[in-house]
Every structure is written in structure tokens, then in C-alpha cells.
Structure 1
Amino acid sequence: MQVKTSKVDLTTATGSMRCYIYEPSVQGIYPSVIFYSEIFQLTAPISRSAAIIASHGFVVIVPEVFHELNPIGTVLGYDDEGKNKGNQDKWTKNLTSYDSDLQAMIDFNDTLVHTNNKIGVIGVCIGGHLACRAAIHSRIKAAFCLYATDLHSDTLPANENQQTFRRLSEIKGEIHFVWGKQDPHVPKEGRIKIYQALQQHELNFQWLEVNAEHAFMRDEGERYDPALAMTMYQNAVALFQRVLSS
């Protein structure tokens, strides 16, 4: 399907949040997918990824994850300056603020007449973490989390009992995790910790480790693996079609 784009500014508990909407140009009723970006926000690779997902028959909502900390429309570069600013934002924003961001997007989605009110989430890097956290919400029926950072370490700003890892047992929908074995941000010990927790809580999950580096989905730079990225898009779309389209 061809894709059209738009944007909307949503009111959240911590200020106005710009969201970018990608959806099929063909009129119809579609499920929705919230897509959480890397620390760099809506870069060209994230935009292309969102369009790919939308082209398979989904309304894709991409929020500016650090909307409280930057002017609307801020996009950070894939360079040291952008990385440093993005990491600074990551260590500044409290995890619970993402919960109110999510609720604002769910409320917005419920106003759309061309969705079926079923919502999934996908994310990369910190976005993978946020997709996992979003899955705690009862409205999220499917989550696809790619190389989720800071999940195993409980290091993002929050009270101890609000850390995402400590709330995994609250997830009721289906959740998939994808990891790169050569990703230094989530070492083997961290992956084992997460896997054991998912088993302990008897979650409905799938787990995949691939020979890839961090950010292998990003179609810019030497770490990009086009073949693996294509497979991951197929896996994510299959999950969302199965869980959200029926």
C-alpha cells in the first residue's frame, strides 16, 4: 500500500508531544502500532521504518520520545553531538513520564474512526525498552522489542518499584524480543537475566538472538544488516496481523 503522513500535537502530563502519523492511503479500518524511536527521535531511517510498517495495513504513531526536553521537531544527528544529547535526555526523563505519553497516544487513537481500536507497539534501542514498558498497559496486545537497552540494568530514572524490569509480570499480551549477539549495550548476562524473568513470570513471549550489532535495523551506517532487517519487518508484521487484525 502507498502511505500518507501527517502530524498531531498531543497534550500529555509533561507537555505537548508531537506525534507523526503514517497510514495507508487506501481508505479502510486498520489496527494501530505505536513506534518508539531511538534516542535521536524521528530521523530519516525511523521515518522509513514507520512507512514500511504502515504500508502493510497499520496506522503507525511515532512520538517524539523526549518532547519535554527539546523544541518540537528536534531531530538529533547520528554523530557524537547527537549521541551525547540523546543520552543526556535518556538519563533525564523519568520512566513514569513515558506512561502518561502512552496514555495520550491511546486516547488519541480512540478518537480515530478508521482504526479498529487494537494497538501494538514496536521499538528500537531505548524504543525497544519503551515498547516493552508499553506492553504493561492492558490496551497493548502485541509488542515487538528490538535490542531494548537499559532493561536489564534498572538504570533509567525512576523509583525502584517503577523500573520496567520489575514490572514484567504485569504484561498480559504477546511480546517478542530480538537481540544482537554482538551488541555491547545488552551483554549476554543481561539477556540471560531478562530471559529468565520472562520464563519465571510465564509470559507469552518469543525470543530471538541474531548475529548482529546494535542498531542493525538502521539503514544508515556500517552496522545495518538489510537481510536481517527485512526478516524483522516480516516477523513484526506477522505478529501484528495475527494479534491485531482479527
Structure 2
Amino acid sequence: MKIQSHFVDLETPTGIMRTYIHRPVDDGAFPVILFYSEIFQQTGPIERAARLMASHGYAVLVPEVFHELNPIGTVLGYDDAGRDKGNADKEAKDVQGYDSDNRAMIDWVVKQPWSNGHIGAMGYCIGGHLAFRAALQPEVKGTACFYATDLHIQKIPNQPGQHSMDRLADIQGELLMIWGKQDNHVPREGLDKIHQLLNQTDITFTWHEFNAEHAFMRDEGDGGRYDAQTAMIGYQLALNLFSRRLR
């Protein structure tokens, strides 16, 4: 489908959050995907991924995940300075800020004429974790998490009992968990811990591990990680999930 792109500046309890919207140009109401970026915010690869998903008939919202900590429109580079700033932002923002961001997007998007009210979430890297965090919202029916960082450790600032893995009972939708076996951000023991905790619940989830590195979905930066063939499988798995859960 042909798509259009625009943005909205949403009010949140922690400030204005610019949110980029990619959706079909056709008239009608479409399922919504809340799409969470890496620490670099909406870079070229993230925008291309969001537009790809939108072209399959979804309204895709990409929030600036660290809006409290940067000027509106900030995009960090895939370099040492960008990584240092993004990681510092990740360690500065309290996890409850993501919850209020999610609430603001959901409350806004369900009122839009081009939304059918069926909501999913998707994200890469820290965005995979933030998509997982979005799954705590009761409206989120399906969530695709790509190599989600910091689910296995207490890295993002949070209060006792507020780590994402402490709140599995709040997840009502289906999860799609996708990992790279050669990902040095989530070691084998971390994967095993997350898998074990999910298996102890009644959550419907699928678990996929590929011979790929961290950020294998990203078609720019950190040369050598991008795996186009595996990335296409990842997109198809996500589209399968959303077609079943959001339509």
C-alpha cells in the first residue's frame, strides 16, 4: 500500500513527545503498531522499517523515546558519541516514564479516524524492551520484541517490583521474542533466564533464535551485522503476529 508520513507532538506527564506516524494513504481505519526505536531514536533504518510495516496496512507510531532528555527532533548518530549519549539517556529515564508515554499514545491514537482501535507493539534493541513494556498495557494485543536489551538485568532505573519481568502478570496479549545467538548484549544465561520466566506463566509467546548478531535488522551503521535474509524472516514473523491479533 502507498503510505504517508507526518508527526504529532503529544503531551505526556514528562513533557512533549514527538511521535512520527506512517500510515496508508487509503481511506479507512487501520490497526496500529507502536514502534520503538533503538537508543538513537528515529534514524533512517527505523523510519524505513516503520514505513515497511505501514505499507502492509498498519498505522505505525514511532515515539521519540528519550523526549525528556533531548530537543525535539533529536536523532543520534551510529557512532561512539551517539552510543554514549543514547546509553546515558537509557540509564537516566525512569521506567515509569515509558508507561506514561505508552498511555499518552494509546489514549490519543484510539481517537483517530484512521485507527481501528486494535493495537500492537514492536521494537529493536532497547525498543524491543520498550515494546515488551508496552505489552503491560491491556489494549496491546500482540508484541514483537527484537533482541530486547535489559530484560535479564536491572539496568533501566525502576522501583522494586517495577522491572518489566516483575510484571508478567499484566501481559494479556501474545508475545513474539526474536534473538540473535551471537548477540553480545544478551548472553546465553540472559536468554535462558527470560525464557524460563516466560515459561512459568500462561502468556502465549513464540521464541526464535537465529544465527545473527545484535542489530541484525538494521541496514545501516555497525557494518557487518545486518543480515537481510534473516531480517526478512523477522518482518514476516511480525506481520504474521499482527495479522492474527490486530485484524
Return the TM-score normalized by structure 1: 0.98
Structure 1 residue 237, shift from structure 2 partner: 0.9
> Which residue does the alignment assign to 1:92?
92
2: distance between equivalents of 1:114 and 1:44?
A: 25
> Which residue does the alignment assign to 2:81?
81
The AA in structure 2 aligned to 1:27 is D
- Quick check: 1:133–1:164 contact (8 Å CA) kept in 2? yes
Structure 1 residue 3, shift from structure 2 partner: 1.1
> Which residue does the alignment assign to 1:102?
102
Mapping 1:1-246, distance limit 5 Å: 1-220=1-220, 221-245=223-247
The more displaced of 230-239 and 52-61 is: 230-239
Percent identity, aligned pairs only, is 55
The AA in structure 1 aligned to 2:227 is D
- Which runs of no fewer than 5 residues in structure 1 stay unpaired? none
Structure 1 residue 168, shift from structure 2 partner: 1.6
- Quick check: 1:31–1:118 contact (8 Å CA) kept in 2? yes
2: distance between equivalents of 1:29 and 1:95?
A: 31
2: distance between equivalents of 1:218 and 1:204?
A: 27
Structure 1 residue 21, shift from structure 2 partner: 0.2
1: distance between equivalents of 2:230 and 2:96?
A: 33
- Quick check: 1:154–1:164 contact (8 Å CA) kept in 2? no
- SS of aligned partner of 1:189: helix
- SS of aligned partner of 2:215: coil
1:167-204 superposed Cα distances (whole Å, 9 cap, x missing partner): 12221110110010000100010000000111101211
The AA in structure 1 aligned to 2:236 is Q
> Hey, which bits of structure 1, 4+ residues long, moved more than 3 A?
none
Instruction: Figure out how many residues of one structure are paired with residues of the other and give that number.
Output: 245
Structure 1 residue 143, shift from structure 2 partner: 0.2
The more displaced of 168-177 and 119-128 is: 168-177
2: distance between equivalents of 1:89 and 1:155?
A: 12
- Which runs of no fewer than 5 residues in structure 2 stay unpaired? none
Structure 1 residue 159, shift from structure 2 partner: 0.7
2: distance between equivalents of 1:160 and 1:151?
A: 15
- SS of aligned partner of 2:161: helix
